[in-house]
Amino acid sequence: MNLIYNSEQYSVVEFGADRSLEALRFGGYEIVDKGGKREIFIAGVMAQNFRRDVNELIASEPTIEEIDDFLGNYEALMSQPVLLH
């Protein structure tokens, strides 16, 4: 587990691949919307796409606002409430 992004609005934790767990076979990401107090865990193909999109975003040397805007695209999928974090 590795915290890869942390702003006032979002945090992103990367989970390394774990072949003994199907959900983490290719790794995964937890994206937390701090203001909305909700989160999503993405794995599999969605995690691979997220990783690719993040790499492309980072290559453009984005501002924090641009990164937060990118992560905001996942808000519609965030359905898990954050109880303890």
Is residue 17 within 8 Å of residue 27, measured between CB atoms? yes
Domain ranges in the chain are 2-81
Is residue 71 within 8 Å of residue 31, measured between CB atoms? yes
Gap between the Cα atoms of 61 and 64, Å rounded: 10
Query: Is pLDDT larger for residue 82 or for residue 65?
Result: 65
Query: Is pLDDT larger for residue 57 or for residue 20?
Result: 57
pTM of the entire structure?
A: 0.84
pLDDT in tens, 2-19: 999 999 999 999 988 666
